[in-house]
């Protein structure tokens, strides 16, 4: 019985201590932290409108892309896609980085994308995605990563997978 009374007294003291304690007032806010990385920017799906250039025997187009800045070219990533429709009417979003075999080439410059093609792919829906770099890891081109993926890995991914990786 003596042990029970000691246990009961200890429990009462503990409960009273918990009830009587209250949180203090909130202190002043700390200093503002650094700004986070910029957001991922993507364009609307826009039909290509390539023009034939006889002297180059190529179809070409320049797309205005104001979100492509020098900082993006230096440390970010630009991904681009076309939306092909197969014979059954199903659309397939394909990274243009994988289309060199069918003759689509891109050159990214500040504020623009220059597209060249050996065939006329006019009317194909085209989209670009701009991902700013926020943290340089290691050294060399293969060391630059976005959410754990290298630039080359991101360029080879299907559009849907890039959306999942970036949480869009």
pLDDT by residue, tens only, the chain of 168 residues: 555 555 555 555 656 655 665 666 777 777 776 655 558 899 999 999 999 999 888 999 999 999 999 999 998 899 999 998 888 988 888 888 877 667 888 999 999 999 999 999 999 999 999 998 866 655 555 456 677 777 778 878 887 787 777 775
Q: Note the helical H segments in the chain.
A: 2-20, 70-75, 151-156, 159-166
Q: What is the pTM of this model?
A: 0.62
Residues contacting residue 94 through CB under 8 Å, at least 6 positions apart: 81, 82, 83, 84, 158, 159
For residue 12, the model assigns a pLDDT of 52
Q: Tell me, what's the pLDDT at 50? A: 95
- Residues 95, 149: Cα–Cα separation, whole Å: 16
Burial group, residue 94, by CB count within 10 angstroms (0-12, 13-18, 19+):
middle
Enumerate the domain spans of the chain: 41-134
**Amino acid 142: pLDDT:** 46
Q: What is the reported pLDDT for 2?
A: 57
- Between CA 49 and CA 88 the distance in angstroms is 24
Question: CA-CA distance, 116 to 107, in Å (whole number)?
Answer: 8
């Amino acid at each position: 019985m003596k042990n029970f009374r000691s246990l009961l007294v200890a429990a009462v003291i503990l409960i009273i201590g918990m009830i009587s304690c209250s949180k203090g007032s909130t202190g002043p806010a700390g200093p503002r932290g650094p700004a986070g990385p910029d957001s991922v920017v993507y364009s609307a799906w826009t039909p290509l409108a390539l023009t034939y250039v006889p002297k180059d025997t190529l179809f070409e187009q320049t797309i205005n892309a104001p979100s492509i800045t020098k900082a993006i070219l230096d440390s970010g990533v630009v991904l681009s896609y076309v939306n092909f429709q197969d014979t059954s009417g199903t659309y397939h979003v394909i990274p243009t980085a994988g289309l060199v075999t069918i003759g689509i080439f891109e050159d990214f410059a500040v504020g623009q994308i220059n597209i060249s093609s050996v065939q006329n792919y006019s009317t194909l829906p085209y989209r670009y995605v701009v991902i700013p770099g926020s943290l340089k890891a290691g050294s060399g081109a293969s060391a630059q990563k976005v959410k754990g993926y290298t630039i080359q890995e991101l360029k080879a991914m299907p559009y849907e997978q890039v959306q999942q990786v970036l949480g869009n």
